[in-house]
């Protein structure tokens, strides 16, 4: 029988390289005579640079150059309108472009020296004078200046209102109305952003960058510096976490390329942990949500509006409120999403952009409504279960959310919950149980792949996608190995190289579906070529067979109903007089065919999250002691790596609920806790039992493999479940994240 790899908990094929240090990251690729760049950041949030004095820095032996807006090469920004693949509408930030300062700590100079320590010291000697202007970084002061942002790819605008929500709310037997807020959060992956630009003898560039899209960076560099794409190769074989921070090219990439081209030397620019707080982030948001219901709990009105921040120069937007019109059945709904311009960097996509924000508000409100109705929070959700997407008036391609509720509640023991707040105890701790729903998109993009099979039964498959720690290397290897019936050790998957077949950025939980479908398709093409060679052999036992009549296993093509009749890959290729079979494919044709059908459906992943907290009654300290997350995400390629994804998401959800907050000093317009010492994230002591359940779900519409992706869905709803548990434990509702002990005391 063919070895089964898809759906099995396979170990990571890149695991050994990572734990032994063999895996190399963007700042670990060394070449002779490498120069080092260190970024000088602005000290004001808004204004103009009136003078930059780099004389003392340049006087140091080993300092090569200090680049500023006054002396940057004029070759840069030849295409001023260029945007990367996922840029929001507006004008992308351009480092060192002119004397204007548009946000605090923006890069204003690059010191280049023979070693990193010297560059860092020299940067401290650069003196800058400014003419400061009044800035505004407080979203609360921009409540009246919100506007509807321009539409952005993958982020549809708010749907038009349906029914008469204001009248329905007024007439509802039970109403809930509240405002909630959340602060800015920063990605903070373990690996900081870095770019190593190797200047080749022929003037071509080989760039090692921390990115989620090597081809996105290649197009960006080629366009901005007016270079042929053949002269720019971007590689990112390993990424030490990104969570969305690597979707767009960050400014160290531009600075490193600029310096390398001007100096005709190889250059590395690495950002410090503090500088990781000087670009994208999850935006702060203020949300108002109103729910109206009949006495039996039937939703009669949903009104949800949100105001989020963006920069002065780009219209960053997310899908925040739309989920409130799709998750529950309600005929009277009004959803409104606006942004306000502030003097900060543009926010950027952070794990499930928009959904944790919107669902934090909606699912907290549903919990509050349940208490007012004296209905179990799970029962309320089931009563208003949506069988159809009312936003788009479409059916779901698949939806096993009911089963998520059932299996999650059973595993958690939800039926034992005493509904009264402050009714459950464990010694000095108040015990609280809360739950919430999660929803995210199931996306699929056309992707290309290449497969090369050699006569010795070894297969190499490649695509320019990325692996940001999600397990892409592994699941693509599994798909290829099973499709051709090869031992998994005989299969190698290559990624993270802009010279490989075209792939979209790795984000939005779409990589497994998109790249996986391309890998399956190209391996099927190799199968067909092998089968034709085998059928054409003299006295072939497969002469009268069709491809569905055979099994590919252990380097042989075997008749399904007579395993003794077989042809080896080697013999088939020898007959075909080839030493390799090479196939290229793109899932574009399949994508086009599916798109027509997909357009008739809404495609989502779903989850049910159950959380237990224990709150010290005297101190107000909160511990999340148990979480059960039941996920319906189509076909699960590898339960082991998928579980790891959900575990990480749940940990982040705990951080969102209880820890994470980028604190800004409004007087300076600067994030003050810009370090892992002061920006709090959950640590091992904060994390206890997390149970992940993958609910069986079949979907033939989302993509050829029935995959939905799990990178995002695991975080959605977690913060709300924990907040609801905190209320159940303490009787105190906190509507401003994070929930810290001072808000409970």
Q: Are strands 622-632 and 689-694 parallel, antiparallel or unpaired?
A: parallel
Between CA 639 and CA 637 the distance in angstroms is 7
Q: Tell me the Cα Rg of the chain.
A: 27
Q: Are 557 and 428 contacting, i.e. CB atoms less than 8 angstroms apart? A: no
Between CA 549 and CA 558 the distance in angstroms is 9
* Residue 581: closest CA among 455, 449, 481, 448: 455
Between CA 467 and CA 237 the distance in angstroms is 8
- Which residues are CB-neighbours of 270 under 8 A, at least 6 positions away? 27, 36, 116, 192, 193, 194, 252
Kind plus residue range of the DSSP H or E element containing 439 = strand 429-441
* Residue 400: closest CA among 67, 47, 694: 694
For the chain, the 3-state helix, strand and coil shares in percent, each to the nearest 5, are 30, 25, 45
User: Does residue 717 sit in helix, strand or coil?
Assistant: coil
Between CA 62 and CA 55 the distance in angstroms is 14
Residue 494's DSSP bridge partners are 462
* 738 preceded by a cis bond (ω within 30 of 0): yes
- On the CB side of 539, CA atoms within 13 Å amount to 0
DSSP annotation string for 107-169: EEEEEEESSHHHHHHHHHH-EEEEEE------GGGGGGG-BPPPPBTTBPPPPPPBS-HHHHH
Catalytically active residues are 712
Residue 40's DSSP bridge partners are 109
Q: Are 568 and 453 contacting, i.e. CB atoms less than 8 angstroms apart? A: no
Residues 636-639: contacts with CB under 8 Å, at least 24 apart? 636/7, 636/694, 636/710, 637/6, 637/7, 637/475, 637/478, 637/479, 637/512, 637/516, 637/705, 637/707, 638/7, 638/8, 638/9, 638/10, 638/471, 638/474, 638/475, 638/478, 639/7, 639/8, 639/9, 639/694
User: Does residue 590 sit in helix, strand or coil?
Assistant: helix
* Residue 362: closest CA among 393, 347, 384: 384
């Amino acid at each position: 029988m063919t070895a089964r790899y898809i759906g099995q908990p396979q170990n990571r094929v890149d695991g050994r390289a990572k734990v032994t240090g063999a895996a190399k990251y963007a700042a670990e690729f060394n070449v002779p005579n490498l120069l080092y760049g260190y970024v000088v950041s602005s000290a004001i949030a808004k204004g103009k640079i009136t003078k930059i004095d780099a004389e003392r820095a340049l006087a140091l032996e080993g300092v090569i150059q200090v680049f500023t807006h006054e002396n940057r090469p004029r070759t840069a920004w030849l295409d001023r309108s260029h945007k990367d693949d996922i840029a929001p509408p507006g004008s992308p930030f351009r480092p060192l472009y002119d004397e204007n300062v548009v946000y605090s700590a923006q890069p204003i100079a690059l010191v280049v020296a023979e070693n990193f320590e010297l560059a860092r010291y020299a940067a401290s000697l650069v003196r800058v004078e400014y003419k400061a202007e009044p800035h505004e970084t407080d979203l609360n002061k921009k409540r009246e200046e919100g506007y509807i942002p321009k539409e952005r790819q993958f982020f549809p605008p708010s749907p038009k209102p349906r029914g008469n929500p204001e009248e329905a709310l007024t007439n509802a037997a039970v109403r809930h109305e509240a405002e909630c807020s959340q602060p800015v959060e920063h990605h903070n992956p373990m690996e900081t952003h870095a770019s190593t630009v190797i200047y080749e003898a022929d003037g071509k560039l080989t760039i090692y960058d921390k990115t989620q899209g090597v081809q996105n960076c290649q197009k960006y560099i080629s366009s901005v510096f007016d270079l042929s794409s053949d002269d720019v190769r971007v590689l990112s074989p390993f990424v030490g976490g990104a969570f969305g921070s690597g979707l767009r090219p960050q400014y160290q990439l531009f600075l490193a390329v600029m310096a390398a081209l001007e100096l005709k030397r190889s250059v590395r620019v690495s950002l410090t942990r503090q500088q990781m707080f000087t670009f994208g982030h999850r935006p702060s948001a203020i949300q108002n949500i109103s729910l109206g219901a009949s006495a039996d709990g039937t939703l009669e009105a949903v009104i949800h509006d949100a105001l989020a921040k963006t920069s002065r120069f780009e219209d960053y937007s997310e899908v925040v409120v739309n989920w409130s019109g799709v998750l529950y059945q309600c005929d009277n709904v009004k959803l409104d999403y606006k942004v306000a311009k502030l003097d900060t960097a543009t926010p950027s996509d952070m794990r499930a952009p928009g959904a944790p924000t919107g669902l934090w508000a909606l699912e907290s409100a549903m919990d509050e409504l349940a208490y007012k109705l004296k209905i179990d929070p799970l029962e309320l959700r089931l009563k208003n279960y949506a069988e159809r997407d009312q936003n788009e008036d479409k059916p779901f391609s698949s939806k096993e959310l009911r089963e998520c509720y059932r299996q999650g509640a059973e595993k958690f023991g939800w039926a034992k919950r005493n509904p009264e707040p402050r009714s459950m105890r464990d010694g000095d701790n108040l015990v609280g149980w809360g739950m919430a729903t999660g929803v995210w998109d199931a996306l699929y993009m056309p992707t290309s792949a290449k497969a090369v099979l050699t006569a010795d039964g070894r297969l190499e498959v490649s695509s320019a996608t990325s692996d940001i720690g999600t397990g892409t290397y592994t699941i693509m290897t599994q798909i290829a190995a099973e499709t051709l019936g090869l031992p998994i050790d005989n299969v190698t998957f290559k990624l993270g190289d802009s010279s490989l077949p075209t792939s979209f950025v790795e984000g939005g939980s779409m990589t497994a579906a998109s790249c996986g479908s391309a890998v399956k398709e190209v391996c099927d093409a190799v199968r067909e070529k092998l089968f034709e060679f085998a059928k054409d052999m003299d006295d072939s036992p497969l002469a009268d067979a069709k491809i569905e009549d055979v099994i590919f296993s252990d380097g042989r093509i075997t008749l399904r109903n007579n395993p003794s009749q077989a042809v080896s890959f080697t013999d088939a290729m020898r007959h075909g007089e080839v030493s390799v079979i090479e196939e290229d494919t793109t899932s574009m044709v399949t994508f086009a065919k599916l798109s027509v059908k997909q357009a008739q459906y809404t495609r989502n992943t779903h989850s049910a999250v159950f959380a237990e907290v224990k709150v010290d009654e005297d101190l107000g300290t909160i511990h999340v002691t148990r979480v059960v997350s039941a996920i319906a995400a189509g076909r699960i390629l590898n339960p082991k790596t998928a579980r790891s994804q959900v575990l990480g998401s749940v940990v982040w959800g705990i951080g969102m609920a209880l820890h994470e907050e980028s604190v800004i000093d409004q007087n300076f317009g600067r994030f003050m806790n810009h370090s892992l010492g002061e920006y709090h994230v959950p640590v091992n002591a904060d994390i206890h039992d997390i149970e992940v359940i993958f609910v069986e779900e079949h979907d033939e519409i989302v993509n050829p493999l029935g995959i939905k992706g799990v990178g995002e869905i695991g975080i959605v709803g977690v913060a709300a479940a924990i907040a609801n548990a905190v209320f159940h434990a303490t009787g105190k509702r906190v509507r401003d994240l994070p929930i810290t002990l001072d808000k409970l005391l």
